[in-house]
């Protein structure tokens, strides 16, 4: 009874506070409250890496080394081997949850806590690829990096406005640093669930660099009890340049002389790649087939 009253009065306080400021923040206040309540309820009950065998964690820490040690025929280079993308692969692609890697320049990355929407990652992979040994199941997670690379190269997405299921503006803001003063429109949103994708975004998607975290990064994640997972390169997101806007102007066909004048718009385009990436995995057209890079 008292718990119900506490929840009721807290919700009413949030609504009243939000309404006094900006009416359109009422829904955001409620959404934040629900998120906070669930975090409070489930924190410590199930940690993402609970139940992951050491051999699986070792595979994710160093996928190439693990494949070499196993002398497995399923070993893939981290670039160009042909890959048969199947219906389960595409299903996992649709379930990808992206957040923002704050290192260096910053870039979209799979959510280390819930790469495909659940903390029960091994159970999810076993359901998609039943009957496999643990090392093969571990490899499926790494394999999704190859699937994402090939989807970005061969999948189709038309410019337009798209509803997004697995991201929203407040979640993007909490992942970004330096977003203060930027509107939702600056970050790529039309409303709380709709993202606008333009031709420039699609060109950048084609060029974005996907990688597996380094061994030290993987060790750090495992120590923090979260998953190593595919990420866009936060240091060189669009090519060889740490000065990422140089690569952006090249990809977008702009003259180098335009760089200083358009740096603000290029920075916003880069930040918008988080919701655009989420749109892409949820909506791109990709058929099961064998794809190379």
Q: State whether 188 and 253 are in the same domain.
A: yes
Whether residue 3 is contained in a domain is answered as yes
For residues 104 and 31, membership in a common domain is answered with no
Is position 259 within any domain?
Answer: yes
pLDDT in tens, the chain (293 residues): 444 444 555 556 555 555 555 555 555 555 554 554 444 444 334 456 656 788 888 889 988 876 555 555 444 444 568 899 999 999 999 999 999 999 989 999 999 999 999 999 999 999 999 999 988 899 999 999 999 999 999 999 999 999 999 999 999 999 987 778 899 999 999 999 999 999 999 999 999 999 999 999 999 999 889 999 999 999 999 988 878 999 999 999 988 777 776 888 999 999 999 999 999 999 999 999 999 88
Residues in the chain: 293
3-state DSSP assignment of residue 141: helix
Same domain, 176 and 266: yes
Query: Do 39 and 111 have their domain in common?
Result: no
Number of Cβ within 10 Å of residue 163's Cβ equals: 12
Asked if residue 65 and residue 30 are part of one domain, the reply reads no
Judge residue 173's burial from the number of C-beta atoms within 10 Å of its C-beta, 0-12 exposed, 13-18 middle, 19 or more buried. Answer: middle
8 Å CB contact between 115 and 141: yes
Can you point out the beta strands (E) in 103-186?
Answer: 107-110, 160-163
Which residues share a beta bridge with 109?
Answer: 99, 231
Does residue 54 lie within any of the structural domains? no
Beta carbons of 197 and 276 less than 8 angstroms apart: yes
Question: Cα(222)–Cα(211) distance, rounded to whole angstroms?
Answer: 17
Please give the tally of structural domains in the chain: 2
Domain hosting 268: range is 59-291
Do the domain assignments include residue 181? yes
The answer on 80 and 36 residing in a single domain is: no
Nearest 10 degrees: Cα torsion 108, 109, 112, 116: 100
Classify residue 21: in a domain, yes or no: yes
193-to-89, 112, 122, 141, 197 alpha-carbon distances in Å? 25, 22, 29, 28, 13
Task: State the distance between the two ends of the chain, measured CA to CA, in whole angstroms.
Answer: 60
Question: 257: which DSSP letter?
Answer: G
3-state SS class at 197 = strand
Please give the model's pTM, rounded to 2 decimal places. 0.80
Structure tokens at 203: 């060109």
């Amino acid at each position: 009874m008292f718990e119900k009253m506490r929840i009721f009065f807290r919700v009413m306080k949030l609504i009243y506070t939000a309404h006094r400021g900006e009416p359109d923040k009422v829904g955001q206040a409620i959404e934040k409250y629900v998120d906070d309540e669930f975090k409070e309820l489930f924190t410590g009950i199930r940690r993402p890496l609970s139940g992951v065998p050491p051999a699986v964690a070792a595979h994710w820490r160093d996928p190439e080394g693990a494949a070499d040690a196993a002398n497995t025929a399923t070993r893939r280079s981290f670039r160009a081997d042909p890959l048969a993308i199947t219906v389960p692969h595409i299903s996992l692609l649709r379930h990808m949850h992206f957040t923002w890697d704050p290192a260096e320049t910053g870039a979209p990355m799979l959510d280390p806590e819930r790469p495909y929407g659940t903390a029960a990652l091994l159970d999810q992979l076993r359901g998609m690829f039943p009957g496999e040994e643990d090392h093969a199941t571990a490899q499926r997670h790494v394999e999704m990096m190859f699937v994402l690379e090939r989807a970005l190269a061969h999948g189709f997405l038309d410019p337009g406005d798209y509803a997004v299921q697995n991201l929203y503006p407040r979640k993007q803001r909490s992942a970004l640093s330096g977003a203060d003063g930027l509107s939702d429109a600056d970050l790529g949103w039309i409303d709380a669930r709709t993202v606008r994708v333009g031709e420039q975004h699609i060109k950048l998607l084609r060029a974005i660099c996907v990688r597996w975290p380094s061994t030290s990064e993987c060790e750090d994640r495992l120590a923090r009890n979260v998953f190593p997972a595919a990420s866009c390169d936060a240091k060189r997101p669009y090519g060889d340049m740490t000065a990422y806007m140089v690569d952006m102007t090249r990809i977008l066909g702009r003259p180098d002389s335009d760089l200083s004048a358009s740096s603000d718009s290029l920075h916003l385009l880069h930040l918008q790649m988080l919701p655009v990436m989420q749109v892409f995995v949820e909506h791109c057209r990709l058929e099961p087939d064998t794809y190379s890079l």
